[in-house]
Amino acid sequence: MTEHSLWRFSRALHRAINDRHFEDIEALIDEDVEWALYGPIDMFPFLGARQGKDAVLDVIRQLADNFQVRRFDRESIMLGVDSAASMLRYSLTALDSNKPISLRVAQFAQFRAGKLISMRVLIDTFDLIEQALGRAIHLPKMTSVG
Amino acid sequence: MTVEKLNRQRVLHLLDTIAADDLEAALSCCTDDIDFLTHAPIDVLPHMGPCHGKQELREFWRTVQARYSETRYQVPQIVAEGDTVAAYLRVFFKKRSNERIIQVDMAVFYTFRGGQVAQIREIIDSYDLVQQVLEREIGPLITGAGADGV
């Protein structure tokens, strides 16, 4: 039984972010990969959509420049033949401030011939921003608008 | 049919019932002790707290119905394994107040028990959702420049 592509990709991604070892992840990304980390790109330039391997590797380098992964727990995972979805709890350290950041993240990945061809990541971005700021954002109480 | 295919169809059916505003049909897809959790700022979206049981979920969906006249789903990706299904959804809500459309991408993880949905977990790009609900940028609220009694 061969290992699912997600596991190889996940190991390589964490090695890239924590150890700045990019060779393994580079070999696991398709040239035409589609990539999206949804969130406010004006605050976090590494968020947003990217197309192509070089652009995605650049994002991964930016993640490595900004964060260290202290711990991650998979709360839920589903493996398809060439796809995977998982919900993870990440404990990160923001390298510029040394602040701990705890995030719940959903990943949807698709692979072809063992290489990543699509990655969509959703984050509770409001929570991310509050943690990055180190304080709550005070919003108006709006009981009927949404 | 495999259990994965069946559960995938069940999720799509649940989404169809919600889009059709048929809340009782949607609730019939869920266990009595359905556990629903999403993550969004309750200052702006006070109904989006955790729900336990059908009655609380009914109230949640009724609140959504009261605020939005139309709900549509696209399902760009769905993955099933065993008793779990993960769906990447693009959801469109039409506001009753001014007919504006809110478009939200969300990750929804469903866990089945006895052919019914027993647990729903959602992750949403909540910052974008809040901006669309408020119909304004909230960056100024963060910097303090726009805390003008919105």
- Does A122 touch chain B if contact means CB atoms closer than 8 Å? yes
Under 8 Å CB pairs connecting chains A and B tally to: 137
The pLDDT, as a whole number, for residue B41 is 79
pTM of the model: 0.91
Convert the pLDDT of each residue in A96-132 to its tens digit. Answer: 889 999 999 999 999 999 999 999 999 999 999 888 8
Higher-pLDDT residue of A94 and B42 is A94
The pLDDT, as a whole number, for residue A11 is 95
Minimal C-alpha gap between A48 and chain B (Å): 12
Partner residue opposite A146 with nearest CB, options B44, B86, B107:
B44
How many CB atoms are closer than 10 A to CB A14?
14
CB contact under 8 A, B147 and A138: yes
Q: Which residue of B has its CA nearest to A141?
A: B43
CA distance A73 to B41: 24
Q: Taking the domains of chain A in order of start, what are their residue ranges? A: 5-133
* Residue A140, helix vs strand vs coil: coil
CB contact under 8 A, A139 and B109: no
Blockwise average pLDDT, block size 10, chain B, 150 residues:
94 96 96 93 76 94 91 96 97 93 95 97 92 83 51
Secondary structure of chain A: what % helix, strand, coil (to 5)? 30, 40, 30
How many CB atoms are closer than 10 A to CB A138?
12
- By percentage, how much of chain A surpasses pLDDT 90? 80
The pLDDT, as a whole number, for residue B44 is 72
The pLDDT, as a whole number, for residue B143 is 67
The pLDDT, as a whole number, for residue A112 is 97
- Does A103 touch chain B if contact means CB atoms closer than 8 Å? no
CB contact under 8 A, A143 and B46: yes
CB contact under 8 A, A137 and B138: yes
Of all helices (H) and strands (E), which one includes residue B5?
Answer: helix B3-19
CB contact under 8 A, A80 and B128: no
Spell out a b/e string for B61-84, using b for 16 or more CB atoms within 10 Å of the CB, else e.
Answer: bebbeebbeebebeeebbbbbebb
How high is the mean pLDDT of chain A? Answer: 92
Q: What is the pLDDT confidence band of residue A63, given thresholds at 50, 70 and 90?
A: very high
- Does A39 touch chain B if contact means CB atoms closer than 8 Å? yes
Q: For the sheet with B68-81, list strands across it.
A: B51-52, B30-37, B116-124, B101-113, B84-95, B68-81
- Does A89 touch chain B if contact means CB atoms closer than 8 Å? no
The pLDDT, as a whole number, for residue B1 is 83
Of all helices (H) and strands (E), which one includes residue A76?
Answer: strand A67-79
Closest of A111, A78, A107 to residue A90, by C-alpha: A107
Convert the pLDDT of each residue in A68-87 to its tens digit. Answer: 999 999 999 999 999 999 99
Residues in contact with A98: Cβ distance below 8 Å, sequence separation at least 6, in sequence order: none
* Residue B68, helix vs strand vs coil: strand
CA distance A35 to A121: 8
CB contact under 8 A, B79 and A78: yes
The pLDDT, as a whole number, for residue A2 is 83
CA distance B140 to B126: 17
The pLDDT, as a whole number, for residue A130 is 87
- Tokens (6 digits) for B104: 């939200």
Please report residues of A whose CB lies closer than 8 A to that of B139.
42
The pLDDT, as a whole number, for residue A140 is 66
Please report residues of B whose CB lies closer than 8 A to that of A40.
127-128
Amino acid at B8: R
Domains of chain B by range and CATH? Answer: 3-141 (3.10.450.50)
CATH of A5-133, one of 3.10.200.10, 3.40.50.620, 3.10.450.50, 2.40.50.140: 3.10.450.50
